[in-house]
Structure 1
Amino acid sequence: LPTLSQNDWIGGVAEAFKVAIIKDAAFFDLLCDKAAALRDRCLASMETVVRRCAVLHLEHISTSGDPFEFGSARPLDFGHWVAHWLEVASAYDIGHGQAVAVGIAIDSFYAMRQGLLGKEEFDRIIAGLLDCGLPVWCEHLSTRSANGELSVLEGLSQFREHLGGTLCVTLPNRIGRKTEVHHMDTGIIEEAVSYLGSVANGARQC
């Protein structure tokens, strides 16, 4: 762990937020409480985070009934439809963890607008990511295709192909729980990009 660059160190924390938000509310609380320590490379705090992540991933693999992810539901891909697109769009200048943080922010906004998260819960997610030094927006999100659509929407089609043809996006349903949806309202995604852009004005960006 001490040999990691700061980007890789804090990028790993994004993956911890990912699993905490959909599986473990107490772990999410810990991440928020330890945000400054994690940002400042406290080894003891990071070791605690790594151990809890390992337990949560092991529990998922051993109890989900789909350890090899043959089905369309991929809960551990929460935030990843945006992340995968963002990595490619940036020619991999943006690290995986940073891209996941942006994806978490967008999908958490979406969940809030769908009534799955309260505004206070959403605000805690955004504050936790930012306090750790993770981004919630990136300039690539503002790009548009020739027909005027946000380019990031291509990520939904790419993610559908990644899943074998059926779109299945994991969203938080209160912090510590999850649900899956099979359709994403592009208008809400537009709102998310706009809102997070305003939040990121002066805050950390990719």
Structure 2
Amino acid sequence: MNELTDEKTLVIYRRNGCLGCIYVSKLLDFIDTPDARIIACECDNTKEKYPEFGIKSTPLWAVFEHGEKLSEMNPASDREALFRFLNETARIEILRLFFDMQLDLGREYADRMQDVFAELIVRKQKEDANAIISATRLKVMKACMSKSYPEREECIDQVLNRIHVILKERMSEPDGDTEVRRKAIEELPRLKEELLNYTV
């Protein structure tokens, strides 16, 4: 990794599996040009290399000059603030059209990855029933909550039935019949009632 110098530098703090990091990744690919001085730091390495900068969460983008931090922000939190941060603070010029386009692409990518992560939790989690239920809730809300009745209830039933089948299949595997998975299956009817009563 490059070191900080006296030049104005944008430092990107990120980690694998961070949805906010995925959201801004397409924008980062777009602005990472030879004219821009950008350093990307993985979260684990960051804590070792820059403990004095107090990195507590990712994503975090910070601008340094002469080795001193001038400003920082969570780039996934506020689109308007991020545009100003890049153009005015980091002095990385980007047209608004391309800025919005890259963030929209990143949002689509992050949404897809969020669904992938939820699917993996449902299939692989054996130690935390709440994690399975949370992942199931996410999958139902993404698939069904924009629908009106009775389509919403049909959609919820389809997703929950699929989750039930996945859990039963996992329980049939060696060492797969865990108390956590049994508890998650028991919670599915309650989750259905919760989601049916959910107001968008």
TM class by shorter chain equals under 0.3
Bigger relative contact order, structure 1 or 2 (CA pairs below 8 A, ≥6 apart): 1
Normalised TM-score (structure 2): 0.26
Higher strand share: 2
Decide which structure has the larger Cα Rg and report it: 2
Normalised TM-score (structure 1): 0.26
